[in-house]
A and B are shown apart, each in its own frame.
Chain A
Amino acid sequence: MIAAAERLRRNVGVEVGAALNLVGALVKYLSLAFLFPAALAVGYSEPVWPFLAAGAITAGAGYGLERAARGKERVGIREGFLVVALTWLFAAAAGALPYLLGDEPQLQSPINAYFESMSGFTTTGASVLPDVEGLSHSVAMWRQFTQWLGGMGIIVLALAVLPRLRVGGRQLMESELPGPELEPLAASIRDTARRLWTVYVALTGLEILALALLGWMGADDSMSLFEAVAHAFSTMPTGGFSTEARSIEAFGAATQWTIVVFMALAGSNFVLMYRALLRRNLRAYARDEEFRLYLGLLFLGAMAVLVELLHVGLYSGKEAVRNAVFQTTSIMTTTGFASVDFNEWTTVAPLSVMVLVALMFVGGSAASTGGSIKVVRHVLIGKILRRELDQTLHPDVVQPVRLNRIPVDERTVRAVIAFVLLYVGIFVGGAVLLVVEATRTGVDVTPFEAIAASATTLGNVGPALGFAGPIGSFEPFSDLSKVIMICLMWIGRLEILPVIVLFTRAYWRA
């Protein structure tokens, strides 16, 4: 038995022990996050024990794993993928504990609870809750808080504060932070992580302030401080959970426009933002090719939707503009808020719905909290295609692909192509599986709705179409469908490769 285990250990090329040990440590520290909803529960005189128990279980499990699995202190590149992938699975499990323990009647099934938690951490914002407003304050806030934790990344946060990850953290961060290449903000990866989180926290604070001010000044009566915090925790990570059943439709125009601005900021590059703030000039934005395409696509998408909405006369002028801008921004940045139930557009304004589904494949910028393919990859793909066309005419020309005038490594170019292919492949696979499963179980899902569901979960957007539309719920999907979508959210958040590589034989070989 021991000899067999020893042989297995020698044949496996990954230091599983070291990886699990680190995962345990990360999960252990995650238990501290439960203090926030616990405090809120005390304030609202709601049951505190589910959060305390969840915290204790998480801490215990993490500590146990840390003790049980021993290995080298430093994890390598290979172990990094395992650490990131497993940490996210465990974090989602920990996040589901308060739902299960708290006797929340809508989340009694473990699959539903896990779906809701994974949807939160991956900032998808797809919900299985039929009645959001039935949640207690503390549980509702926990749900928002999981998004906020996942937005800039659990591991990026750990890098910023945990001394243990001082070395070898770069690999971990690259696996978690969106975008094809990590552009460091400081000499050490730790300072980079800290600065990113500082920008993130500052923007969240600013949004809370802006929303709360709207409520206090009477511009929006339904906006309380609780709502302000809950929605800031959902906007900045481009999550999409709301405490209101009708999402952002429940608020006034001023609130909706404020949220549009913060969604656009959340989907833009934080590294760029930090630099622009530091140097106090906005020229970096004007020069950044990704940012220009980002704004361009937002504008084009909004115009396309607006033209159709006005053409069919669904809304009057101002309302049409607001809904068009809000919905394109929300979907493209992969937030997933709704200012209106666009599921109702399917029959009257089908082009707009197509535009929105297409925008699910755009996503936010690199180093933002947005999901999906990311604008920078679209920029690069465009340039790669242009180069290919040029090279068919001039086969000998040597032409590096440039991003903001800086030559991009050929390895990155290949990685971008591979990413987009994998992304599309997994999306198609997901959609097919969802259709087959829906047919098997007799759930009423049209192929287009399955496409939307696959795209929305893989891109961490949130709302799909049909019963899973912006005001609806993913509850009617079968358990297997939910598991598929949990996987899609997980793979999408970690940008595919760190997860997929775990399923290759080469990864485990010595």
Chain B
Amino acid sequence: MKIVVLGAGQVGATIVEALHSDHDVTVVDLDGARLQALSYRYDVSTVRGNGATRRVLQDAAIKRADLMIACTSRDEINLVAATLVKKLSEAQTIVRTSNPEYLEAWQERQIDVDFMVSSELETAHAVSRTIGVPAAKQTDVFADGQVQIVEFDVPRAGGSDNLTGVPLTEAAERAASRPLTGAYDEVVGLPLREAKVPADSKVASIIRADRMLVPRGEQSILPGDRIIVIGSPDAARAWSGIMARGERRVDDVVIFGAGATGLAIARVLLDQRIRVRLIEPLEERAREVAEELPAARVYCASGIDPDFIERERLGQARAAVFAMREDSKNLYAAMLAKVHGIGFTIGIVHEPVSVEVFERAGIDVAVNPRSVTAEEIVRFAHDPRIRQLAMLEGDRFEVLDITVRDSSKLVRTPFKELPMTGSLIGAIVRNGTAIFPHGDDRLEPGDRAIIFTESSRVAEVEKAL
């Protein structure tokens, strides 16, 4: 496939990184230095110039392109480029936007673009997924939310059995009333076939000291591992219960910074009936946001004022999101919030290097809007049969969502007889409902299979199905 990418910034670079090996990629940007850096790292051709002009698009051979991804940081450039491409070629168009208005207009088919991605909304969803499923590092949703992929860091500290000290009959009762919630000690440290893994879920991968293990029955999850789980939303919640050691679900979130990202996060959280408090230092913006979100409580204050944090008892909040404009400020405010007792902190980072800095510093989750956006765009850019694709752990693993063809050799083979190829079918979607397969289930033609696989095997898996 021939792909033209407009914009060689963080989003563009991430997209190029994901697509360059399988596709013929041309990158367009105004900045020659960025283009040069990209062309040294990857086998891509580059065109320097304004992508919203016909001449530059023609230089990038848009006529022969199959897909155009407009991911510059400027909405209007992206939209104009997409409009031109619609006239100049047959290519499909993907547009990145930061304006929810445009996204809404596109969803109502009033903007003629094949796919539109809003960084703010994607970030908000990423945050809400993390908050809805505590301790989850990164989660993805497939088949309209019926299948989730969740990544956990298994806590290191010695397991506190949350059933100790409770009379046995009561403990049994409680366990019976919550069949999906397993205890930490019943999962971690035991061989997988003995561990009480929540129903409708599978451990897709265990990452231990930068090595990925394909989980087999005799292996066990150890403290300090990072595990990737695929399963139903209930199961994902049960897993997060296990990993969070029975901590209460987050129902009260403080968001520092009410910019476009903060606002989008607030809106998504309010939709989930989570209590939201927003802190914004600029008075005018605070007022704007307060008018827009009647359900949220908006404060006009600096997020790094200890008196304010104390006065408003922000320390009692279950979680805090730091969505201010500067990474350094976010990091500082997050540390301060930790000092005041906020248990769960999520940082929105703008520089790629900040992800590691934040995590080293003890911020629980760092979300990079640009990589979230790139991920979303790459999902669409892949094989049209693949509806979604998550990139976990950089790009070492991918999750594929493939519709099984009639001609596939694997159709009607029982699962336990499928060849082991370092990939795992986490779930299948048949007639709109998700099934979490057991050894005796078979693949049927037309099933959508959610497959967890190493990046190097993507082509192999696609061919097999």
Which A residues are closer than 8 A to B by beta carbons?
A: 394, 396-400, 402, 405, 407
Known: A396-B308, A396-B312, A398-B286. A407 touches B300 (CB 8 A): no
Choose from A394, A400, A407 the contact partner of B299 (Cβ within 8 Å): A394
Smallest CB–CB gap between A476 and chain B, Å?
A: 54
* Interface 9-residue window, one of B124-132, B232-240, B289-297, B453-461: B289-297
Query: Measured between alpha carbons, how far is A402 from B289 in the docked complex, in Å?
Result: 14
Query: Measured between alpha carbons, how far is A400 from B298 in the docked complex, in Å?
Result: 10
Query: Measured between alpha carbons, how far is A397 from B280 in the docked complex, in Å?
Result: 10
Q: Does A398 lie within 8 Å of B298, measured CB to CB?
A: yes
The residues of B that contact A402 with a CB separation of less than 8 Å are 294
The residues of B that contact A397 with a CB separation of less than 8 Å are 297-300
Choose from B294, B299, B311 the contact partner of A398 (Cβ within 8 Å): B299
- Interface size in chain B (residues, C-beta < 8 A): 16
The residues of A that contact B298 with a CB separation of less than 8 Å are 397-399
A-B pair number, CB within 8 angstroms = 31
Q: Is B55 an interface residue (CB 8 A)?
A: no
The residues of B that contact A396 with a CB separation of less than 8 Å are 299-301, 308, 312
Q: Is B287 an interface residue (CB 8 A)?
A: yes
Query: Measured between alpha carbons, how far is A396 from B254 in the docked complex, in Å?
Result: 14
Smallest CB–CB gap between B73 and chain A, Å?
A: 29
Chain A residue at smallest Cβ distance from B300:
A398
Query: Measured between alpha carbons, how far is A400 from B289 in the docked complex, in Å?
Result: 10
Query: Measured between alpha carbons, how far is A321 from B311 in the docked complex, in Å?
Result: 53
Smallest CB–CB gap between B266 and chain A, Å?
A: 13
A-B CB proximity, top 4 nearest = A407-B291, A396-B301, A396-B299, A398-B286
The residues of B that contact A398 with a CB separation of less than 8 Å are 280, 283, 286-287, 289-290, 298-300
Q: Does A400 lie within 8 Å of B290, measured CB to CB?
A: yes
The residues of B that contact A400 with a CB separation of less than 8 Å are 287, 290-291
Smallest CB–CB gap between A226 and chain B, Å?
A: 53
24 A–B contacts from the bound complex (CB under 8 Å): A394-B299, A394-B312, A396-B299, A396-B300, A396-B308, A396-B312, A397-B297, A397-B298, A397-B299, A398-B280, A398-B283, A398-B287, A398-B289, A398-B290, A398-B298, A398-B300, A399-B290, A399-B297, A399-B298, A400-B287, A400-B290, A402-B294, A405-B294, A407-B290
The residues of A that contact B286 with a CB separation of less than 8 Å are 398
Query: Measured between alpha carbons, how far is A394 from B311 in the docked complex, in Å?
Result: 8
Smallest CB–CB gap between B16 and chain A, Å?
A: 42
Query: Measured between alpha carbons, how far is A397 from B286 in the docked complex, in Å?
Result: 9
Smallest CB–CB gap between B283 and chain A, Å?
A: 8
Smallest CB–CB gap between A200 and chain B, Å?
A: 34
Smallest CB–CB gap between B50 and chain A, Å?
A: 40
Smallest CB–CB gap between B147 and chain A, Å?
A: 37
The residues of A that contact B280 with a CB separation of less than 8 Å are 398
The residues of B that contact A394 with a CB separation of less than 8 Å are 299, 311-312
Smallest CB–CB gap between A408 and chain B, Å?
A: 10
Type the 1/0 row for B276-319, where 1 means its CB is closer than 8 Å to any CB of A: 00001001001101110010011111000000100110000000
Smallest CB–CB gap between B314 and chain A, Å?
A: 11
The residues of A that contact B301 with a CB separation of less than 8 Å are 396
The B193-235 residues at the A interface (CB cut-off 8 A) are: none
Query: Measured between alpha carbons, how far is A407 from B298 in the docked complex, in Å?
Result: 14
Chain A residue at smallest Cβ distance from B308:
A396
Smallest CB–CB gap between B178 and chain A, Å?
A: 37
Smallest CB–CB gap between A211 and chain B, Å?
A: 45
Smallest CB–CB gap between A196 and chain B, Å?
A: 29
Query: Measured between alpha carbons, how far is A398 from B281 in the docked complex, in Å?
Result: 11
Query: Measured between alpha carbons, how far is A405 from B291 in the docked complex, in Å?
Result: 9
Chain A residue at smallest Cβ distance from B297:
A397
Type the 1/0 row for B125-168, where 1 means its CB is closer than 8 Å to any CB of A: 00000000000000000000000000000000000000000000
Query: Measured between alpha carbons, how far is A398 from B294 in the docked complex, in Å?
Result: 11
Query: Measured between alpha carbons, how far is A354 from B13 in the docked complex, in Å?
Result: 77
Smallest CB–CB gap between B345 and chain A, Å?
A: 21
Query: Measured between alpha carbons, how far is A407 from B294 in the docked complex, in Å?
Result: 9
Query: Measured between alpha carbons, how far is A396 from B298 in the docked complex, in Å?
Result: 8
Query: Measured between alpha carbons, how far is A405 from B312 in the docked complex, in Å?
Result: 25
A396-B308, A398-B290, A398-B298 known, 16 other contacts, Cβ within 8 Å: A396-B301, A396-B312, A397-B298, A398-B283, A398-B286, A398-B287, A398-B300, A399-B290, A399-B297, A399-B298, A400-B290, A400-B291, A402-B294, A405-B294, A407-B290, A407-B291
Query: Measured between alpha carbons, how far is A41 from B103 in the docked complex, in Å?
Result: 69
The residues of A that contact B291 with a CB separation of less than 8 Å are 400, 407
Chain B residue at smallest Cβ distance from A399:
B290
Query: Measured between alpha carbons, how far is A398 from B278 in the docked complex, in Å?
Result: 10
The residues of A that contact B297 with a CB separation of less than 8 Å are 397, 399
Smallest CB–CB gap between A406 and chain B, Å?
A: 9
Chain B residue at smallest Cβ distance from A393:
B311
Query: Measured between alpha carbons, how far is A402 from B295 in the docked complex, in Å?
Result: 12
The B319-360 residues at the A interface (CB cut-off 8 A) are: none
Smallest CB–CB gap between A88 and chain B, Å?
A: 37
Query: Measured between alpha carbons, how far is A405 from B292 in the docked complex, in Å?
Result: 10
The residues of A that contact B300 with a CB separation of less than 8 Å are 396-398
Smallest CB–CB gap between B255 and chain A, Å?
A: 14
Query: Measured between alpha carbons, how far is A465 from B290 in the docked complex, in Å?
Result: 48
Query: Measured between alpha carbons, how far is A293 from B366 in the docked complex, in Å?
Result: 49
Chain B residue at smallest Cβ distance from A407:
B291
Chain B residue at smallest Cβ distance from A410:
B287
Chain B residue at smallest Cβ distance from A394:
B312
Chain A residue at smallest Cβ distance from B277:
A397
Smallest CB–CB gap between B293 and chain A, Å?
A: 10
The residues of B that contact A399 with a CB separation of less than 8 Å are 290, 297-298
Smallest CB–CB gap between A161 and chain B, Å?
A: 38
The residues of A that contact B283 with a CB separation of less than 8 Å are 398
Query: Measured between alpha carbons, how far is A397 from B299 in the docked complex, in Å?
Result: 4
